[in-house]
Amino acid sequence: MADCGRGLQQVRDIIAAAHKDCSVLEKLQFYDQWATQYEELQRCGFTLFHGLDGSAGMLEVAKKKTLYQELKHGMLGHEQLPYDSDKYDAVIIVGALSDGQVPVSLLPELLRVSKAGGLVCMTTRSNTSNLKYKADLEEEMSSLQSKGFWEQVLVEEVEQWEKATSEKEIAKESDYISGVIYIYRKIPDPSTGS
């Protein structure tokens, strides 16, 4: 049975393990073990999983898992999300909020599809080539907060987010780049409750 009381530290440890420096064999063994836990949220009582991806190949892999009730093909940030408003308890976007991938203009859409009180969980990198994007992202987050659309729950800097892919991205004599985890809670609209 799944331990559904996992804390933030346990989640951090799993993510850190996925990004640690190790051999290819060790990495494959890690993912083989982790693959058995992909459906853990379902075992913890979460029952509604939808996915959206620009990669048809990724959607095929997800479909084979039989975890998702709905999978859609689409590019984030180029059009309205193909979901109803106020639908999800949590919206998660990891690894896509960066320069040249998903535009900052997506944030209001993440809010739109979140239920009142729902969480919007996001990550971005803090590497040199992404600093302008990160500043724009944080400016949009602050703007949405000052307008009363959401409240900040967590902002956590992660020093060794992922292995750097180029020497010009390395900072502080490390082979890693840093990143940030952001969690916001959608504030209910007093006039509608959603």
CATH class, domain 80-186, is alpha beta
What is the model's pTM?
0.75
Average pLDDT value for residue range 36-52: 71
The domain spans of the chain are 1-46, 80-186
Residue 1 has a pLDDT of: 40
Q: List pLDDT tens digits, range 120-133.
A: 999 999 988 899 99
> Are 85 and 112 within 8 A, CB to CB?
yes
